[in-house]
Chain A
């Protein structure tokens, strides 16, 4: 179990950050991450080898997140949860700014198709195209196509930030 503990310490933060990019609150994020590592623990416990733990964890985390978000959609209307329970900063004003910014990004992501959204999120994690293909289940050759299409769709949605940065 030493190997499991090493993987847990090494990947906990990155999996938590990945999960928090989906529309889940802090409690859900913690539960999902715990759930993902329990699944990994069971794999180790049953003697199964996990060849690439990073890809495996990302894959399971993504699936659990999608299931959680879809389950919520069935029971309640999607509401803005980005600002809920994710810690507090000293200034209320900066909190509001941050929340607004987050809401713009989350809304922009929601306008993408589920597969494109997933690819963009994994891309933001710095995964290679091969890893993105393995985690998302999209063909390797289609990753770049989906990615460039998704980025093009996001361009007008984030245009204010985009033009500011381009003119710098």
Chain B
């Protein structure tokens, strides 16, 4: 079996190897070179930890926590407002999506032949006569083409 890598040995030292394979463990106990590396690396890791920790300083005392003047506690009223704002931010898009999903289908415009005839009769304009001499009839129809309102100039 191949010797263990530095990384594998480091994980083993730090007990971070989730499952050391039995053959790897067997190798580590049998291989002199891996054992040497394990020993060296363990000392190195320990030494570096100690050296770095020797640089660290401890505070002389734990000071009382001072809330900076610029920070004012959020009033309950503002908190409530923020809560409602969050609720609104969730509900408004939800309502919009719901409304879009349940939008009634638009009816196709299908006027009857009778309606078309009536419309053409009412809206025939003679282009050879003056505009004022033409009687323009304006009609409003519903979706089925039925005249609901009628007016003239």
Contacts and interface: CB of A to CB of B under 8 A. Distances in A.
Contacts of B40: 166
A106 B71 contact: no
Interface in A111-154: 120-121, 123-124, 126, 128-129, 144-145, 147-149, 151-152, 154
B143 interface: no
Given A41-B67, A151-B10, A13 B56 contact: no
Interface residues of B, number: 37
A16 interface: yes
Contacts of B68: 38
B106 interface: no
Contacts of A86: 57
A21 B56 CA distance: 5
Interface in B25-71: 40-41, 43-49, 51-60, 62-63, 65-68, 71
Given A144-B7, A151-B41, A102 B55 contact: yes
B6 to A, nearest CB: 4
B69 to A, nearest CB: 12
A102 B54 contact: yes
A16 B57 contact: yes
B55 A106 contact: yes
Nearest to B64: A8
Interface string A33-72: 1100110011001110000000000000000000000000
Contacts of A45: 71, 73-74
Given A38-B68, A151-B41, A152-B6, A105 B51 contact: yes
Nearest to A161: B47
A145 B60 CA distance: 37
A101 B49 CA distance: 14
A61 B53 CA distance: 17
A38 B71 CA distance: 9
A87 B57 contact: yes
Given A151-B44, A166-B43, A82 B55 contact: yes
Contacts of A105: 51-52, 54-55
A143 B46 CA distance: 17
A47 B79 contact: yes
B65 A124 contact: no
Contact of B74 (A8, A46, A147, A162): A46
A60 B54 CA distance: 23
Nearest to B11: A144
A61 to B, nearest CB: 13
Given A41-B67, A82-B55, A165-B43, 10 more contacts: A4-B65, A13-B62, A20-B56, A47-B79, A102-B55, A145-B7, A148-B41, A149-B6, A151-B45, A158-B51
